[in-house]
């Protein structure tokens, strides 16, 4: 469960097979910063509560990073 | 063969649903896929028993535990596990905006039988077993998040450290229907502590527009004010209709398997032990290994968030995962998440592996207990 207040950054992730299809968002938050073994990938789905938290985070003025 | 139609025992309203599953999922706290004990909790989330959520904002530090029951009134009524909250760092003077509540969130499509927002709206009855070192009054809120409305009830803990059974009746609401979808429509909140922003009003016994100062207006438990404090709960049931202690239907004890299956609509975990198959076959390309599908036992509520916990390196002693192919292991630190749906997900790794394009293999977690891998899929509300 991702709390928008603990999000540090959000990056677009592309499908490795074509390197252009957006497949999910990789989120860095307080938990992943505290434990570097954890990675969080949020589905692009309006019904996903973490996706909704990212949208609120963006509405607060933050920006999603483009993929590498 | 005689057939007897089971009838609701409600003194007002009620719906006959003798073969239906309980509205509350995991009310007996038996399923705890994530963990059975978590320390150092300072924030919100789903940490312990499945489906049960805590909202905690700058109001102390806590340990949560799935507590085995071996005696007492809850045990005598068939409950072998409880959700226990222990305060480990106190905050006796919370700031105005601090709050701590525990509870459950519901999908709107599962609540349509309540007929909220219609002239036929149903009353509700909430029942549960509770125990605390503190005596006093606790407030429970029903918050309609589709229409920003709330109604509440209170319970009194009369004897410290003693399991007591509580029943709260919630009146019907003819205003504001629940959306018929998979999004959150209702929260049930047991307030445990709060700052002044959530106090000072009146606990509403009729549905009203959501009011912050009413949310913990009657609560006196203040679980965060001392490290000696604890609060435990189990046997939570929600019935449609108005019931008393003498008419309340018995708690619907599910088998562990049925209970787990319903929890898996919201959360699944793979791996989480050394050397365990992750239930997927790997397929190599020239630059990566794709693994999948990781198939969920039941279609999840939404496409989930995939959290991948890896190891600390690509060596056998540090790897979180391995792919066995051609009689050898590719040890590697972790996966990335690829495609995800409500039914399955795929993961892949593009470093630490080497094989010929087209090779296949089988995936497993690594051998190091300090670096054990796990893949979690969460579609919680």
How far, in Å, CA of B191 to CA of B103, rounded? 9
Mean pLDDT of chain A: 96
Instruction: Scan for tokens 């999000």, then name that residue.
Output: A7
Beta-carbon count within 10 A of B277 CB: 12
Residue B368 in this model has a pLDDT that exceeds 70: yes
- Looking at residue B5, its pLDDT comes to 43
Q: What is the pLDDT of residue B4?
A: 42
Which whole number is the average pLDDT over B177-201?
98
| Other Cβ atoms within 10 Å of B23 Cβ, number | 22
Confidence bin at B6 (pLDDT 50/70/90): very low
- Mean pLDDT over all residues of chain B? 94
pLDDT band at residue B169 under the 50/70/90 scheme: very high
From chain B, pick out residues whose CB is under 8 angstroms from the CB of A20: none
* Phi, psi angles (nearest 5°) of residue B154: -130, 155
The pLDDT tens digits of the residues spanning B85-123 come to 999 999 999 999 999 999 999 999 999 999 999 999 999
pLDDT digits (tens, 9 = 90+) for B45-73: 999 999 999 999 999 999 999 999 999 99
Q: Do B381 and A49 touch (CB under 8 A)?
A: yes
Q: Are A15 and A23 in contact (CB under 8 A)?
A: yes
Distance CA B374, CA B380 (A): 18
| ipTM over 0.85 threshold | yes
Q: List the one residue out of A29, A19, A63 whose CA is nearest residue B305.
A: A29
Convert B35-67 to b/e letters by CB count within 10 Å (16 or more is b): eeebeebebbbbbbbbbbbbbbbebbbbbbbbb
- Determine the distance in angstroms separating the CA of B35 from the nearest CA of chain A, rounded to an integer: 15
The beta-carbon neighbor of A3 closest among B44, B337, B338 is: B44
Residue B3 CB partners (closer than 8 Å, separation 6+): none
Per cent of chain B over pLDDT 90 is 84
B256-265, B292-301, B332-341, B352-361: least confident range? B352-361
Bridge partners, B237 (sequence order): B127
Non-local (6+) Cβ contacts of B242 within 8 A are B10, B11, B12, B13, B14, B123, B125, B169
Q: Which of A1, A15, A38 sits opposite B46 (nearest CB)?
A: A1
- Inform me whether the pLDDT recorded for B18 exceeds 70: no
Q: Cα separation of B149 and B141, whole Å?
A: 10
CA-CA distance, B216 to B109, in Å (whole number)? Answer: 28
Rounded distance between C-alpha atoms, residue B121 and residue B142, angstroms: 15
Instruction: Answer for the pair B153, B205: CB distance below 8 angstroms, yes or no.
Output: yes
Extended strands (E) in chain A? 7-14, 22-29, 38-43
* Cα–Cα distance, B194 to B119 (Å, whole number): 35
Residues, chain B? 381
Taking the CA of residue B337 and the nearest CA in chain A, the distance in Å comes to 6
Single pTM value for the model: 0.95
| pLDDT of B365 above 90 | yes
Kindly identify which residue of chain B lies nearest to residue A6, measuring between CA atoms.
Answer: B43
Tokens of B64: 């949560």
Q: How far is B331 from chain A (nearest CA, A)?
A: 15
Q: In the block, which residue shows the tokens 């600390």?
A: B312
Instruction: Give me the tens of pLDDT residue by residue for chain A, a chain 68 residues long.
Output: 999 999 999 999 999 888 999 999 999 999 999 999 999 999 999 999 999 999 999 999 999 999 99
Confidence (pLDDT) at B82: 98
In A, which residues are within 8 Å of B311 by CB distance?
37
For B264-310, the DSSP string reads TTTEEEEE-STT-EEEEEEEE-SS-EEEEEEE-SS--SSSPEEEEE-
Strands across the sheet containing B164-170:
B37-41, B61-68, B81-89, B230-240, B124-132, B164-170
- Tracing tokens 């924030």 back to the chain, one arrives at B43
**Any chain A CB within 8 A of the CB of B323?**
no
B174 vs B144: CA distance, rounded Å:
12
Scanning the structure block, which residue is given the tokens 């799935």?
Answer: B66
Tell me the torsion sign for CA atoms B361, B365, B367, B371: positive
Give mean pLDDT, residues B291-314: 95
């Amino acid at each position: 469960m991702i709390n928008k207040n603990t999000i540090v950054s959000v990056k677009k992730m592309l499908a490795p097979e074509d390197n252009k299809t957006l497949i999910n968002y990789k989120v860095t938050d307080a938990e992943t910063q505290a434990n570097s073994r954890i990675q969080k990938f949020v589905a692009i789905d309006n019904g996903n509560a973490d996706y909704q938290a990212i949208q609120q985070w963006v509405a607060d003025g933050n920006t999603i990073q483009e993929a590498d | 063969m005689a057939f007897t139609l089971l009838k609701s025992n409600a003194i007002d309203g009620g719906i006959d649903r003798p073969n239906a599953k309980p509205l509350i999922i995991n009310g007996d706290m038996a399923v705890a896929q994530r963990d059975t004990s978590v320390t150092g909790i300072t924030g919100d989330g789903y940490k312990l028993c499945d489906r049960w959520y805590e909202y905690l904002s700058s109001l102390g530090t806590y340990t949560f535990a799935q507590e085995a029951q071996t005696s007492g009134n809850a045990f005598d009524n068939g409950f072998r596990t409880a959700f226990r909250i222990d305060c480990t760092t106190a905050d006796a003077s919370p700031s105005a905006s601090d709050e701590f509540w525990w509870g459950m969130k519901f999908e709107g499509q599962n609540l349509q039988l309540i007929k909220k927002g219609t002239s036929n709206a149903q009353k509700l009855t909430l029942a549960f077993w509770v125990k605390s070192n503190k005596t006093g009054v606790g407030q429970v809120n029903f918050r309609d998040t589709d229409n920003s409305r709330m109604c509440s009830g209170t319970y009194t803990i009369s004897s410290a450290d003693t399991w007591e059974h509580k029943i709260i009746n919630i009146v019907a609401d003819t205003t504001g229907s629940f959306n018929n979808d998979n999004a959150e429509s209702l929260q049930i909140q047991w307030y445990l502590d709060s700052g002044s922003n959530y106090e000072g009003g009146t606990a509403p016994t009729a549905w009203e527009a959501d009011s912050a100062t009413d949310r913990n207006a009657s609560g006196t438990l203040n679980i965060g004010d001392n490290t000696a404090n604890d609060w435990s709960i189990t046997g939570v049931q929600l019935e449609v209709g108005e019931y008393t202690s003498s008419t309340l239907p018995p708690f619907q004890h599910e088998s562990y398997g049925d209970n787990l299956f319903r929890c898996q609509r919201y959360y699944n975990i793979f791996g989480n032990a050394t050397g365990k198959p992750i239930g997927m076959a790997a397929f190599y390309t020239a630059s990566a290994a794709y693994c999948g599908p990781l198939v969920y036992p039941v279609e999840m509520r939404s496409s989930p968030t995939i959290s991948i916990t890896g190891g600390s390196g690509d060596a056998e002693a540090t790897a979180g995962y391995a792919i066995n192919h051609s009689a050898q292991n590719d040890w590697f630190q972790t996966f990335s998440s690829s495609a995800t749906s409500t039914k399955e997900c795929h993961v892949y790794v593009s470093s630490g592996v080497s094989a010929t394009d087209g090779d296949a293999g089988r995936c497993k977690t690594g051998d190091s207990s300090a670096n054990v891998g796990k893949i979690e899929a969460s579609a919680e509300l």
